[in-house]
Amino acid sequence: MRRRAQGELEAQVLAVVRAGGGPVTAGWVRERLEGGLAHTTVITILSRLHEKNAVTRTRAGRSYTWTNASDEAGLAALRMRRVLDGERDREAVLARFVSALTPGDEERLRALLSRDAQAGPDPADPTEGR
């Protein structure tokens, strides 16, 4: 059996949860994943996704049902944010990130920042102003 790349299993689990179209159980997710994962492994991945705000969970008896809260782009953004949060010099990290962008990506980023600046802060986002 080949070893999965970092984040690959999380992405697969998230895709299965999204395909459910609503609340799903860990057992339901496990049945749809390849590789014969243990139930506890699926629970661990779902719990990690919950900690990253990529899925929500609702108590259902002694277990939970899981619902998608983020798409693949959202999950990638959460990973990027976690890396940034772990660095002391955020400005240096952001400067290096921006300087490494392709011209097309830099233009996209400028357009997104301009659009967000015009829209103003999101009152529902507790991280605004960081």
CB 75 within 8 A of CB 14: yes
Strand residues in the chain grouped as ranges (E): 55-60, 63-68
Q: What integer is the mean pLDDT of 87-95? A: 94
Record the pTM: 0.61
Q: What is the pLDDT of residues 27-86, one digit of tens each?
A: 999 999 987 899 999 999 999 999 988 899 999 999 999 999 977 787 788 778 888 899
Q: Which pLDDT score, from 0 to 100, does residue 123 have?
A: 52
The most distant pair of C-alpha atoms in the chain lies apart, rounded to whole Å, by 52
61 versus 7: the higher-pLDDT residue is 61
pLDDT tens-place string over residues 102-122:
999 999 999 999 987 787 665
